[in-house]
Structure 1
């Protein structure tokens, strides 16, 4: 029993180390950034992926099929069905969006938002992580971090899935809806009661109509 427990612990540690770590830190502008390798001059925090829950009897649903050798050119009856059945075994056990969180309101005046993901087991060669925002693909790569830039104010829906070389979806994460908070351009625009604006004869921007030579020197508008 002790040997079995030791083997389980070693196997778990190998899976965790293979998956790598995601870190979060704050940049000079105050934005929260996620990445695999944080800069040396910042204080980074390791992000813990959600714990996996193993359902009882899950492994019994998938049986190991016999391997067809090349000793004979004849394919045994039912061999094709066995290969197709083995393809149904899940390649990835989990795909989660760590950040942003469901329903989160993110203050980003520049509209930039970082997306952090967790994948188990690690990504296979040839597979890609596809990030979709509001129905439009914005990223297709092997990285577990995606940077979204210049997002509009308001609500956005994020979807993530992993595809193989044939563009077939292997696993999908639960969609996440979040809100981007940005300062309005109308709020930041300086108010001017004079639509004409300043010019050479009227440097302070007073209305051009009804200005006499006397009040032009005084730079007061005529009521």
Structure 2
């Protein structure tokens, strides 16, 4: 039930009228209302409403509407410098490094990361256990991310380079995995499938067979030990005489 203050009604001085009823409740209180209760003896009053009352009612309604809109709407206030920033990709590149890295970290989503070299189950033949690793990611590596190379579960490098050379790998089977990680906290973002490869070091006998030893190389090349150097063949007496006279000349070994 809507109650209207008697004091407010008595101060009204304009030509607007409202129907107001008054009655005495069971507690002996005088009640003024524009909606009298049923089965209650009331007395009708002619009350003039002033313009300030209408304005007050209108302002109250507007305040309630504004309050409702404020509760339902969340407003984000930006500083003039922020509002002036363009929204293109060039704007992201001009931001401070910390902000730019944060954006890259949140927006970069890698579709895949592949190991280009070595091929799966490839046999690498060399004497130093050397291996060249090459990877490719889509999209390319973000500025705040790193490649992490793992062989047999051990981290061998964390770098931004797509290629990395390894040496002194033992003979036998090895397993390779490449991950993309955050440079700050080293957390893994994505990883490649496991790649198996084999290291087969070339033996000295194989190297000697491929590249035979020269006389002057004995004692220098590991596969040409000095003890295996062939002994010179003895020359007969006639050749020795001709050598002394300058007719023939001993072959250089």
TM superposition score category, shorter chain reference: 0.3 to 0.5
TM-score w.r.t. the length of structure 2 is 0.39
Structure (1 or 2) with the greater helix fraction:
2
TM-score w.r.t. the length of structure 1 is 0.44
- Structure number with greater Rg is 2
Bigger relative contact order, structure 1 or 2 (CA pairs below 8 A, ≥6 apart): 1
